[in-house]
A and B are shown apart, each in its own frame.
Chain A
Amino acid sequence: MRKTRRKETKAKEKRLGNKLSDRKKIVKRVKGEKEKNENLTKLKKKLENRKNKKYKEQVKRTKVVVDEKYGEITRRKRMKMWIFIVILIAILFIVRIGWIQFVMGDWLKEMAFEQQSLDRAVNPRRGTIYDATGTNILAVSSTVNTITVNPVNISKENKEKVAEALSNIFELKYEDVLKKVNKKTSIETIARKVEKEKADELREWMSDNGIDVGINIDEDTKRYYPYNSLASQVIGFCGYDNQGLDGIEAIYEDELKGEKGRITKVTDAQGGEIDNEGENYISAVDGDDLVLSIDLTIQGIAEKYLKEACIDNECTDGGNIIIMNPKTGDILAMAGYPNYNLNEPYETTIDELKANWDNMSQTDQIKEMQKVWRNKAVADTYEPGSTFKLITSSAALEEGITTTDKEGEFCCTGGITIAGVRISCWRYYKPHGSESLRQALMNSCNPVFIGLGQEIGVSKYYDYLEKFGLLRKTGIDLPGEANSIFLKEDKVGPVELATISFGQRFEITPIQMITAVSTIANKGTYVKPRIVKKIVDSTTGEITEIPTEKTENVISKETAEGVLSMMGSVVAEGTGKNAQVQGYSIGGKTGTSEDGVNTGKYVTSFVGVAPVSDPEVVVLITLYNPTGEGGHQGGGVAAPIGSQVLGEVLPYLEVQKDNTEEDGIQEEVEVPNIVGFTISEAKEKLKDLGLDINYEETEENISDKKVISQVPVGGMKVNKGSKIIIEYEK
């Protein structure tokens, strides 16, 4: 039993044990399974993780690939875009260039051409000015040189050398020249109007130093006036650039100047010549020549006596002489004193000024020069005084108010009362008494002319002023002509008319005066005065004669002859006695007036005609403020000059002598031909005939020189004792 029990127990135990172990086992198993599970999940997780990673990587990898693909696509797209943009830019540029070349092209081309072509002017030869004879040269242009440099064409190492040479040769400041040579401009002027010798010197230096570019020697012209101050105020002078500044030079600028030529060359930016192009030479057209009415000899005579008179009579404001041919209007001479040297128009010729000249400021110098440049004969007005009685006489005779020789027609009581104002005769202290018009003119009796003026009346009187050209400029071909100063017609009352009648309280220019008197001398025909007679075309030689402008019947021939005859009496027996010239019948009238009102300055004048019967010349002498011992009366001061001047001019003009009364019989001889003989031979020949010889002795020992011209020419008849003017070979 026990055994069984034991067995049973054992079995039980065994069972139990088994159970226990089973339990343990189960527990163990459970545990294990749990672990297993955990491990599994872990493993699973691991696996999953691994899988994720792989996937992710794969995803990543694909993503990169996609990115790269995408990048490449973008790149391609952008590059295609780029090509498109390039094409666009190319088109834009082509359009832009097309715009510049076709739309702006013409303008740009022109501008480019302008800067590329550098012009150097070729100065034309300015026309020559001849005197009335057509042989004496009053103004001529000679060839000189203008020196220019193209600074950039002078190499750096040569610049100083060139500047030094230029400053030495042309006597310029070295620093100034160097500055010009160093400039970056295309052309600089170094010296103008240099003489040929200087230019040659420069040429020599250039060849010695092997410099042949960058320095230009161009021809230019320089004005030269052979007779220096002669007719200076008429001729005038030229400026730096050959432009006429005064006188004929200015008035006939267009005729004289010619046409500039050009040296055109295509140049680089620095003025260098573009070698293969060469120079294109467009030659200049020379200016036309002028033949003046001014006669060298007559002008010389006028100037000589004017100067003498001005000095003798101490004319503080100078004076002038006009000599006119009444038939043609030719101004044979127009002298002014003081004048100036045309070759040095900025240098005074007046002794008092010379001493201090260099210390004067430039403005003062110019002021002084302007005084002498001024041609007072046309530019300044004066009170004509008694000479104007000729106009009053003409008007009165023409109007038939009076006749020349009615005895006792007038009576001078030493004065006349006009509208309550008493106007005295100049000889109020010793009245002229009973007189005819001729006598009144000879006496220059004021009241007579006042009376005549009143009778003519303002309106008629002004008509005559108009007819005699006194209310307008004469239109003479000279610059700066002034007009007369008259009261307006409607403001002229009896008193004003009275003063006008004897030549006071109005002002006219000397040229107006002489033109009016010339009208009388020309038997009533007004002729416009002129300086230039002919213009000679420089290329064709064609001569253009300047026509004489006339206005006929200003007064009748009879009236004119009446006045002329009275003028003859004035000189023969009246106030103009001093103007007499042996052998000639001279007519004239003197005049004296105050220069302005109460200035104490006087203008004294003489107007003369000769010969009286048919005047060939009219002369007007005007002296401003004579302060010498001779006084200021026209008869005393101005008339003698008339005698001097006419005494030389009339023979020169070969005016037939018409007044033999006092002279007795003049023996006439025939002038021999002396051209071709030596001076000593000629002298002898002339001596035998009782003639004299006249020449300008510029050299010594000229007796062997041959005579090349003579005035008058052989065969002419002249009075014994006449001078034969000759020119001899030089």
Chain B
Amino acid sequence: MQNKAKNSMYKAKKSQVDFVLVIIILILLSFGIVMILSASAPSALAETGDSYTYVTKQIIFAVIGLVAMWFVSKIDYRIYKKFYWLIYWASIGVLLLVLIPGLGSEGGGARRWINLGFAQFQPSELTKIGMIVFYAGYLTDHKNELRSFVKGFLKPLAFLIPPVAIALFIQNHLSVGIVMSAITFIMMLMAGCRLLHFIVCGGIVGGGGIAALFIYLSSAGESAGDANFRLGRILNYMDPWQDPTGTGWQTIQSLYAIGSGGLFGVGLGESKQKYLYVSEPQNDFIFSILAEELGFIGCIVVIVLFALFIWRGILIAMKAPDMFGSLLATGITSLVMIQVVINIGVVTNTIPNTGMSLPFFSAGGTALIILLAMCGILLNISKSRSKV
């Protein structure tokens, strides 16, 4: 009784969940399902003989995900803070599950899946949210150290090493490493780590990289022309037409799809590129199909929807009653943001190709459930916002 009273006293102004965010989530989710229905039909037909294979699965997972979101939004987010160390170690542990024979399954030459029998599941999805909780807790508890270089900058980053190393070297999963690192940077920045540290370290790492490249270029190339040639080759990694049937295939097909779209697109369901040209049109490259079918307008709508989602997320982070909540919201929002940016960046050939799914759109059951559950956390934080 007393505890409860204390809790309620502790609580700041009780308010409703962020209704705008719920709407955005629902729009994105339904949009995603419609796109999967359209994009996945040919490959589903080719692989399983049923055009609706992916969309049926996606709807089931979306429903489960929405239930999970509702359920999680009822759980007070502060509870997670008590277990952040446990969650940290569990996050690392769960990454190693793929190594257990019989449980982990290999796909595309990498061990990053766990077979649950009814569905495949990437433990790294759990690790991402685990790391967000951990950093939110850790940075809150050590908020007074954040301005020091060693304690506030290097030490928090050190916790990133084990999961990223496992992701990179055991799972061969570059994108998870990138996402986790990026989320951590954003959370640390938002927690109040000194920007100077990031700039200096970023400068040193980046400068070192450029210097290494330069040394490589000048030492390997005898003449300036040769060096230019090498530099050209390095810059040309973004020219997919150098190897149109090999490494460039995915990117070229994606560009064909987007380019075919025009202003209004070829019409929903009318994509030609989804017919096995664009690899996994229901997955990493679903945005290309969207761009082909719904055109420039459709792209703007989706990008604006994501921007709105991120905006609401940041708003929740700003209005959170405590630092833990704020950082938790920051982490979840940045997770969505990073994935969207990398995904759209890849399909538009703005950045090099790394496998990255588009939140709410890409087919992928467990990932969707976890995403919606995270949205539940976000909604829970939004419920207990402080006065601003």
Flag whether A653 is at the interface (Cβ < 8 A): no
Q: Chain A residues with Cβ under 8 A from B341's Cβ?
A: 89
Q: Are B303 and A94 in contact (CB under 8 A)?
A: yes
Q: Which residues of B contact A266 (CB under 8 A)?
A: 272, 275
CB of A108 closer than 8 Å to a CB of B: yes
Q: Is A353 an interface residue (CB 8 A)?
A: no
Is A487 at the interface (CB under 8 A from chain B)? no
Contact: B299 with A94, CB < 8 Å? yes
Whether B311 lies near A86 (C-beta < 8 A) is yes
Residues of A contacting B144 with CB < 8 Å? 64, 67
Contact residues in B for A97 (Cβ distance below 8 Å): 258, 291, 296, 299, 348
Is A102 part of the contact surface with B, judged by Cβ < 8 Å? Answer: yes
Which residue of B189, B256, B306, B345 contacts A78 across the interface (Cβ within 8 Å)? B189
User: B311, A83: Cβ atoms under 8 Å?
Assistant: yes
Q: Is the CB–CB distance between A87 and B259 below 8 Å? A: no
Report chain A residues within 8 Å CB of B348. Answer: 93, 96-97, 100
Residues from 168 to 211 in A contacting B, C-beta threshold 8 Å: none
Is B256's CB under 8 angstroms from A108's CB? Answer: yes
Task: Write the chain A residue with the least CB distance to B189.
Answer: A78
Which of the segments B74-82, B118-126, B211-219, B260-268 contacts the partner chain? B260-268
| Interface residue? B318 (CB, 8 A) | yes
A112 and B192 contact, CB distance less than 8 A: no
CB distance from A156 to the nearest CB of B (A): 11
Q: Is the CB of A269 within 8 A of B272?
A: no
Report yes or no: B259 in contact with A105, Cβ–Cβ below 8 A.
yes
Interface size on B, residues (CB 8 A): 49
For window 90-127 of A, CB contacts with B under 8 Å fall at 90, 92-94, 96-98, 100-102, 104-105, 107-109, 111-113, 115-116
**B contact residues around A115 at 8 Å (CB):** 256, 277
Question: Would you give the shortest CB distance from A264 to chain B, in whole angstroms?
Answer: 13
A107 to B256, CA, bound (A): 9
Q: For A89, give the chain B residue with the smallest CB separation.
A: B341
The answer to whether the Cβ of B143 comes within 8 Å of any Cβ in the partner chain is yes
B337 CB within 8 Å of chain A: yes
- Structural contact, B190 and A104, CB atoms closer than 8 A: no
**At the interface with chain B, which of A69-77, A317-325, A383-391, A529-537?**
A69-77
Interchain CB contact under 8 A, A101 and B296:
yes
Contacts of B295 in A (CB 8 A): 101
Contact assessment for A94 and B276 in the assembled complex, using a CB-CB cutoff below 8 Å = no
Interfacial chain B residues near A344, Cβ < 8 Å: none
Residues of B within 8 A of A268 (CB): 42, 46, 275-277
The residues of A that contact B186 with a CB separation of less than 8 Å are 82
- The answer to whether residues A108 and B260 also contact, given A75-B190, A90-B307 and a CB cut-off of 8 A, is yes
A711 at the interface (CB under 8 A from B): no
Q: Mark B312-324, 1 if CB is under 8 A from A, else 0.
A: 0010011000010
CB proximity of B323 to chain A, nearest CB, Å: 8
Contact, CB under 8 Å: B275 / A82: no
Find the A residue at minimum CB distance from B272: A116
Interface residues of B in 324-341 (CB under 8 A from A): 326, 330, 337, 341
Cβ–Cβ contact B191 & A79, under 8 A: no
Which residues on B sit within 8 Å (CB–CB) of A75?
190-192, 318, 323, 326
Asked, given contacts A269-B275, A272-B276, whether A82 binds B255 with beta carbons under 8 Å apart, the answer is no
Q: Mark A264-283, 1 if CB is under 8 A from B, else 0.
A: 00111110101000000000
Contacts A/B (CB < 8 Å), 24 sampled: A68-B143, A70-B192, A72-B323, A78-B190, A79-B314, A83-B311, A83-B314, A90-B303, A92-B350, A93-B345, A94-B299, A97-B258, A97-B296, A98-B296, A100-B258, A101-B261, A101-B291, A101-B295, A108-B259, A112-B260, A113-B260, A116-B272, A268-B277, A272-B276
Residues B130-177 near A (CB distance < 8 A): 143-144, 146
Q: Which residue on A lies nearest to B330, using beta carbons?
A: A79
With A76-B318, A268-B42, A269-B275 already in contact, the answer to whether A93 and B303 are too (CB < 8 A) is yes
Interchain CA distance A89-B144 in the complex, whole Å: 32
- In the complex formed, the residue of A with least CB distance to B291 is A97
Q: Which A19-57 residues have a C-beta within 8 angstroms of B?
A: none
Quick check: B317 and A79 within 8 Å, CB to CB?
Answer: yes
Q: CA–CA, A107 to B241, complex, Å?
A: 13
CB distance from B248 to the nearest CB of A (A): 12
Docked complex Cα distance between A83 and B300 (Å)? 17
Q: Are A112 and B259 in contact (CB under 8 A)?
A: yes
In the complex, what distance in Å separates the CA atom of A87 from the CA atom of B314?
12
Which listed residue (B262, B275, B300) contacts A94, Cβ 8 A? B300
State the B residues within 8 Å of A (CB): 42, 46, 143-144, 146, 186, 189-192, 253, 255-263, 272-273, 275-277, 291, 295-296, 299-300, 303-304, 306-307, 310-311, 314, 317-318, 323, 326, 330, 337, 341, 344-345, 348-350
Give the most central of B304, B317, B318: most A CB within 10 Å.
B318
With A89-B341, A108-B255 known, 13 other A-B pairs at CB within 8 A are A71-B146, A75-B191, A75-B323, A78-B190, A79-B190, A97-B291, A97-B296, A101-B261, A109-B260, A111-B256, A112-B273, A115-B277, A269-B253
Within 8 Å CB of B259, what residues of A? 100-101, 104-105, 107-109, 112
Bound state CA distance, A428 and B262, in angstroms?
94
A509, B310: Cα distance in complex, Å: 88
Q: Chain A interface (Cβ within 8 Å of chain B)?
A: 64, 67-68, 70-72, 74-76, 78-79, 82-83, 86-87, 89-90, 92-94, 96-98, 100-102, 104-105, 107-109, 111-113, 115-116, 266-270, 272, 274
Chain B residues with CB below 8 A from A112, complex form = 256-257, 259-260, 272-273, 277
CA distance A113 to B273 in the complex (A): 9
Are A269 and B276 within 8 A (Cβ)?
A: yes
Q: B186, B190, B262 — which one has the most chain A CB atoms within 10 A of its CB?
A: B190
Please state if B255 and A272 are interface contacts (CB–CB under 8 Å): no
**Least distance between A409 CB and chain B CB atoms (Å):** 84
**Taking CB as reference atom, which chain A residue is nearest B300?**
A94
B272 cross-chain contacts in A, Cβ below 8 A: 112-113, 116, 266, 274
The CA of A87 and the CA of B317, in the complex, are separated in Å by: 17
Residues in A neighbouring B261, C-beta threshold 8 A = 101, 105
- B289 → chain A, closest Cβ, in Å? 12
B276 and A270 form a contact (CB under 8 A): yes
* Chain A residue, CB-CB nearest to B273: A112
What CA separation (Å) do A112 and B345 show in the bound complex?
A: 21
Residue of A108, A269, A270 with most partner-chain B CB within 10 A:
A269
Given the complex, which residues of B lie within 8 Å of A96, measured CB to CB? 348, 350
Contact of B296 among A82, A102, A113, A272 (CB under 8 A): A102
Residues of A within 8 A of B253 (CB): 269
Of A82, A92, A102, the contact of B190 (CB 8 Å cutoff):
A82
Closest partner residue, chain A, to B304 (CB atom): A90
What's the Cα separation between A64 and B144 when bound, in Å? 8
Residues of B within 8 A of A93 (CB): 299, 303, 344-345, 348, 350
Shortest distance from the beta carbon of B183 to any chain A beta carbon, whole Å: 13
Whether the pair A274, B318 counts as a contact (CB closer than 8 A) is no
Task: Give the shortest distance, in Å, between B225 (CB) and chain A (any CB).
Answer: 30
Q: Is the pair B262, A272 in contact by a Cβ cutoff of 8 Å?
A: no
User: Among A94, A101, A111, A272, which residue has the most Cβ atoms of chain B within 10 A?
Assistant: A101
Contact at B317–A104, with CB atoms within 8 Å? no
**Contact call A87/B260, Cβ cutoff below 8 A:** no
B317: chain A residues at CB < 8 Å are 79
Q: Report Cα–Cα, A75/B329, bound state, in Å.
A: 12
Say yes or no: A104-B255 contact (C-beta < 8 A), given A116-B277, A268-B276. yes
Chain A: CB-nearest residue to B195? A78
| Inter-chain contact B311/A108, CB cutoff 8 Å | no
List, in ascending order, chain A residues with CB within 8 A of B263's CB: 101-102
In the complex, which of the residues A92, A93, A102 has the most CB atoms of chain B within 10 Å of its own CB atom?
Answer: A93
Of A89, A97, A101, A112, most buried by chain B (CB within 10 Å of CB) is: A97
